[in-house]
Protein backbone atom coordinates (compact mmCIF):
# COMPACT_ATOMS: atom_id res chain seq x y z
CA UNK A 1 0.00 0.00 0.00
CA UNK A 2 1.71 3.16 -1.23
CA UNK A 3 0.88 6.61 0.08
CA UNK A 4 1.53 9.88 -1.74
CA UNK A 5 4.05 12.41 -0.43
CA UNK A 6 1.14 14.67 0.58
CA UNK A 7 -0.48 11.91 2.66
CA UNK A 8 2.84 11.24 4.38
CA UNK A 9 3.38 14.98 4.99
CA UNK A 10 -0.09 15.49 6.51
CA UNK A 11 0.39 12.37 8.65
CA UNK A 12 3.85 13.39 9.89
CA UNK A 13 3.01 17.11 10.19
CA UNK A 14 -0.76 17.36 10.68
CA UNK A 15 -2.22 20.85 10.46
CA UNK A 16 -4.81 22.29 12.84
CA UNK A 17 -4.58 19.61 15.54
CA UNK A 18 -6.31 20.29 18.84
CA UNK A 19 -9.55 21.58 20.28
CA UNK A 20 -11.30 24.94 20.18
CA UNK A 21 -12.79 26.06 23.48
CA UNK A 22 -16.35 27.29 23.11
CA UNK A 23 -16.44 26.09 19.51
CA UNK A 24 -19.41 27.16 17.43
CA UNK A 25 -19.73 23.65 16.07
CA UNK A 26 -18.32 20.28 17.13
CA UNK A 27 -18.79 17.08 15.19
CA UNK A 28 -17.67 13.53 15.86
CA UNK A 29 -17.94 10.64 13.43
CA UNK A 30 -16.57 7.15 13.24
CA UNK A 31 -16.89 3.87 14.95
CA UNK A 32 -14.51 2.17 17.40
CA UNK A 33 -15.07 -1.09 15.49
CA UNK A 34 -13.53 0.54 12.42
CA UNK A 35 -10.68 2.00 14.42
CA UNK A 36 -11.16 5.56 13.17
CA UNK A 37 -12.85 8.35 15.12
CA UNK A 38 -12.68 11.99 14.00
CA UNK A 39 -13.72 15.01 16.01
CA UNK A 40 -13.80 18.44 14.39
CA UNK A 41 -14.18 21.87 16.03
CA UNK A 42 -15.26 25.02 14.18
CA UNK A 43 -15.12 28.72 15.01
CA UNK A 44 -17.46 30.59 12.68
CA UNK A 45 -17.95 34.34 12.34
CA UNK A 46 -20.27 35.99 9.83
CA UNK A 47 -20.66 32.71 7.92
CA UNK A 48 -16.88 32.23 7.56
CA UNK A 49 -14.95 29.37 9.16
CA UNK A 50 -12.30 31.41 10.97
CA UNK A 51 -10.67 28.47 12.73
CA UNK A 52 -10.90 24.70 12.60
CA UNK A 53 -9.18 22.03 14.69
CA UNK A 54 -9.41 18.27 14.80
CA UNK A 55 -8.59 15.30 16.97
CA UNK A 56 -8.47 11.91 15.28
CA UNK A 57 -8.00 8.44 16.67
CA UNK A 58 -7.04 6.21 13.79
CA UNK A 59 -4.53 5.22 11.17
CA UNK A 60 -2.15 7.52 9.31
CA UNK A 61 -4.63 7.99 6.46
CA UNK A 62 -7.32 9.07 8.95
CA UNK A 63 -4.97 11.67 10.41
CA UNK A 64 -3.90 12.87 6.94
CA UNK A 65 -7.49 13.19 5.67
CA UNK A 66 -8.54 15.06 8.83
CA UNK A 67 -5.62 17.45 8.43
CA UNK A 68 -6.32 18.05 4.74
CA UNK A 69 -10.05 18.54 5.37
CA UNK A 70 -9.30 21.30 7.88
CA UNK A 71 -6.99 22.99 5.37
CA UNK A 72 -9.70 22.84 2.70
CA UNK A 73 -12.34 24.58 4.83
CA UNK A 74 -10.34 27.09 6.87
CA UNK A 75 -11.24 30.61 5.77
CA UNK A 76 -14.11 29.36 3.61
CA UNK A 77 -17.81 30.11 3.87
CA UNK A 78 -20.14 27.51 5.34
CA UNK A 79 -21.57 26.95 1.85
CA UNK A 80 -18.08 26.30 0.43
CA UNK A 81 -17.26 23.93 3.30
CA UNK A 82 -20.44 21.94 2.66
CA UNK A 83 -19.26 21.33 -0.91
CA UNK A 84 -16.02 19.64 0.24
CA UNK A 85 -16.44 15.99 -0.67
CA UNK A 86 -14.41 12.95 0.20
CA UNK A 87 -13.26 12.98 -3.44
CA UNK A 88 -11.94 16.54 -3.00
CA UNK A 89 -10.03 15.47 0.13
CA UNK A 90 -8.53 12.48 -1.73
CA UNK A 91 -7.59 14.60 -4.74
CA UNK A 92 -5.94 17.21 -2.50
CA UNK A 93 -3.86 14.39 -1.02
CA UNK A 94 -2.98 13.01 -4.47
CA UNK A 95 -5.04 9.90 -3.83
CA UNK A 96 -5.49 7.16 -1.26
CA UNK A 97 -5.23 3.37 -1.51
CA UNK A 98 -8.69 1.81 -2.04
CA UNK A 99 -8.76 0.29 1.46
CA UNK A 100 -8.31 3.80 2.93
CA UNK A 101 -11.05 5.62 1.00
CA UNK A 102 -13.25 5.33 4.10
CA UNK A 103 -10.94 7.82 5.84
CA UNK A 104 -11.81 10.52 3.32
CA UNK A 105 -15.51 9.70 3.76
CA UNK A 106 -15.13 10.20 7.51
CA UNK A 107 -13.35 13.52 6.95
CA UNK A 108 -16.25 14.77 4.81
CA UNK A 109 -18.75 13.55 7.39
CA UNK A 110 -16.80 15.22 10.25
CA UNK A 111 -17.16 18.58 8.48
CA UNK A 112 -20.89 18.01 8.01
CA UNK A 113 -21.32 16.81 11.60
CA UNK A 114 -19.61 19.94 12.99
CA UNK A 115 -21.72 22.18 10.75
CA UNK A 116 -24.87 20.32 11.83
CA UNK A 117 -23.97 21.06 15.45
CA UNK A 118 -23.42 24.73 14.53
CA UNK A 119 -26.90 24.94 12.99
CA UNK A 120 -28.51 23.13 15.96
CA UNK A 121 -26.89 25.63 18.35
CA UNK A 122 -28.47 28.40 16.25
CA UNK A 123 -31.88 26.73 16.57
CA UNK A 124 -31.92 25.64 12.92
CA UNK A 125 -32.72 22.08 11.83
CA UNK A 126 -29.54 21.06 9.95
CA UNK A 127 -30.96 18.09 8.05
CA UNK A 128 -32.63 20.09 5.21
CA UNK A 129 -29.33 21.95 4.68
CA UNK A 130 -26.76 19.22 5.27
CA UNK A 131 -28.64 15.94 4.97
CA UNK A 132 -28.12 12.86 7.11
CA UNK A 133 -24.64 12.26 8.53
CA UNK A 134 -23.58 8.75 7.60
CA UNK A 135 -20.09 8.13 8.92
CA UNK A 136 -18.91 4.61 9.54
CA UNK A 137 -21.74 3.07 11.52
CA UNK A 138 -22.93 -0.21 10.11
CA UNK A 139 -20.38 -0.30 7.30
CA UNK A 140 -17.78 -2.49 9.01
CA UNK A 141 -19.19 -5.67 7.59
CA UNK A 142 -16.13 -7.89 7.69
CA UNK A 143 -13.67 -8.84 10.41
CA UNK A 144 -10.75 -6.79 9.10
CA UNK A 145 -11.74 -3.60 10.88
CA UNK A 146 -11.85 -1.75 7.56
CA UNK A 147 -14.90 0.32 6.62
CA UNK A 148 -16.46 -0.10 3.24
CA UNK A 149 -17.77 3.24 2.08
CA UNK A 150 -18.54 4.43 -1.41
CA UNK A 151 -16.92 7.48 -2.92
> Where do the domains of the chain lie?
5-129
pLDDT digits (tens, 9 = 90+) for 94-128: 999 999 998 999 999 999 999 999 999 999 999 99
Mean of all residue pLDDT scores within the chain: 88
Spatial neighbors of 90 by CB under 8 A, at least 6 apart, are: 65, 96, 101, 104, 151
| pLDDT reading at 62 higher than 60 | yes
Q: What share of the chain in percent tops pLDDT 90?
A: 79
- The catalytic site residues sit at 34, 103
**Fold entry, domain 5-129:** Sufe protein. Chain: A (3.90.1010)
Rounded to whole angstroms, how far apart are CA atoms 17 and 74?
Answer: 13
**pTM for this one?**
0.87
Rounded to whole angstroms, how far apart are CA atoms 13 and 78?
Answer: 26
Amino acid sequence: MAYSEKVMDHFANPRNVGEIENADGVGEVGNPKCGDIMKMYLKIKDGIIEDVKFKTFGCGAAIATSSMATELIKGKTIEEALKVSNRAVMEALDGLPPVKVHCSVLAEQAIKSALSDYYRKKGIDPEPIIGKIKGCEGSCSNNTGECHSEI
